[in-house]
Structure 1
Amino acid sequence: MKRIILICTLAIFSVACAQNSKSEDKKALENLKGTYVDQQGVDWGQGTFGKREFTFENGKWSLKFTLAFDPQMKSQIFIFRTVGTYSVLDKSKFVNDAYNALFIEDKKFVTLKTNIPDVIQGFGFSSCDLTKDVEKDISQSGCSLWKSVAECSEDHDLLKLDADGKLYFGVRPPDNDMCSEDKRPKSLTPAVVKI
């Protein structure tokens, strides 16, 4: 009888510790503060490399994403920037230790960094009325794969913070559309690290 009571007590303690750990993980994600970056250009396929810079403070977030033809990020194609708020939802059913997150994009901006006509056309920038090295607010108009804020202000993503403080997001689909719950990723990108 004592053994059964001991086993039940240990089981209850284990469940309580696991629940506490989950709530601490969620709280840490809800209270992110600072800037997290890719340590180097990440291979985004088709001969391109991307570098992300996320900044968090008081429930607000921003992203600066740079795409280039080289991992050193010297031959840049464009810079996309967005700002807004975010919330951490429930645990992901598909990715261990990750949470579903909702990122609201209040504003979206793009800066063209190349003047190569084939590249501009290939990325769908021809109709965006962009000027090289000049940031343009595309919140109302959208541009290429980025929809307007009116059409898509929500980004249904994943978030995970590991024991080393590295932050992970969901892998974006090729069409960049994470505007609805059913578009939420089911795997994680390489981590960004706090600087």
Structure 2
Amino acid sequence: MKRILLICTLAIFSVASAQNTSKEGKKVLENLSGTYVDPQGVDWGQGTFGKREFTFDDGKWSLTFTLAFDPQMKNPIFNFRTVGTYTVLDKSKFVEGAYNALFIEDKKFVTLKTDIPDVTQGFGFSNCDLTKDVEKDISKSGCSLWKSVAECSEDHDLLKLDDEGKLYFGVRPPDNDMCTADKRPTALTSAVVKL
């Protein structure tokens, strides 16, 4: 009888500890602060490399994403920037240690960094009325794979912070559409690290 009681007590303690750990992990993600970046350009395929810079402050977030032709990011193609708020939801059922997260995009901006016509056309920028090196607010109009805020203000993503303080997000689909919960990724990207 004592043995059964001990096993039950340990099981309850184990469940309670897991719930507390889960709550602590969620709280840490909800209170992210500072800037996290890719340590170097990440291979995005087809001869392009991307670099992300996320900033978190009191429930607000921003992202600046740069795509370039080289891993040193010396030949950029464009910058995309977005700002908003975020909420950490429940634990992911698909990715261990990750949480489902909802990122609200209040504003979206793009800056063209090249004047090569074939590249501009290939990325779908021809109809966006962009001027090289001039940031344009595309919140109302959308541009290329980025929808307007009215059409898509939600980004259903994943978040994971490991024991080393590295931050992970979900792998974006080729069409960049994570506007609804059913489009949430089921795998993680490489980590960004805190500056």
Q: Normalising to structure 2: TM-score of the pair?
A: 0.99
Q: Distance in 1 between matches of 2:17 and 2:164?
A: 20
1:48-74 residue CA offsets vs partner (Å, 9 max, x unmatched): 100000000010000000000100000
Q: Distance in 2 between matches of 1:26 and 1:35?
A: 19
1:136 is matched with which residue? 136
Amino acid at match of 1:191: A
Corresponding position: 1:188 with 2:185: no
2:112 is matched with which residue? 112
1:149 is matched with which residue? 149
Q: Distance in 1 between matches of 2:15 and 2:91?
A: 16
Q: Distance in 2 between matches of 1:41 and 1:139?
A: 26
SS at match of 1:125: coil
Deviation at 1:153, TM superposition (A): 0.4
Runs of 4+ off more than 6 Å: none
RMSD, aligned CA: 0.6
Amino acid at match of 1:89: L
Amino acid at match of 1:184: R
**1:66-81 equivalences in 2 (<5 Å):** 66-81=66-81
Deviation at 1:7, TM superposition (A): 1.4
Q: Distance in 1 between matches of 2:159 and 2:105?
A: 16
Amino acid at match of 2:122: G
- Aligned length, in residue pairs: 195
1:24 is matched with which residue? 24
1:87 is matched with which residue? 87
Q: Distance in 2 between matches of 1:172 and 1:22?
A: 25
Deviation at 1:147, TM superposition (A): 0.4
Deviation at 1:11, TM superposition (A): 1.2
1:1-21 residue CA offsets vs partner (Å, 9 max, x unmatched): 221111111111111111100
Amino acid at match of 2:108: K
Which consecutive unaligned segments of at least 5 residues does structure 2 have? none
Which consecutive unaligned segments of at least 5 residues does structure 1 have? none
SS at match of 1:126: coil
Q: Normalising to structure 1: TM-score of the pair?
A: 0.99
**1:45-56 equivalences in 2 (<5 Å):** 45-56=45-56
Q: Distance in 1 between matches of 2:180 and 2:7?
A: 44
Amino acid at match of 2:86: Y
Q: Distance in 2 between matches of 1:121 and 1:139?
A: 21
Q: Distance in 1 between matches of 2:17 and 2:42?
A: 36
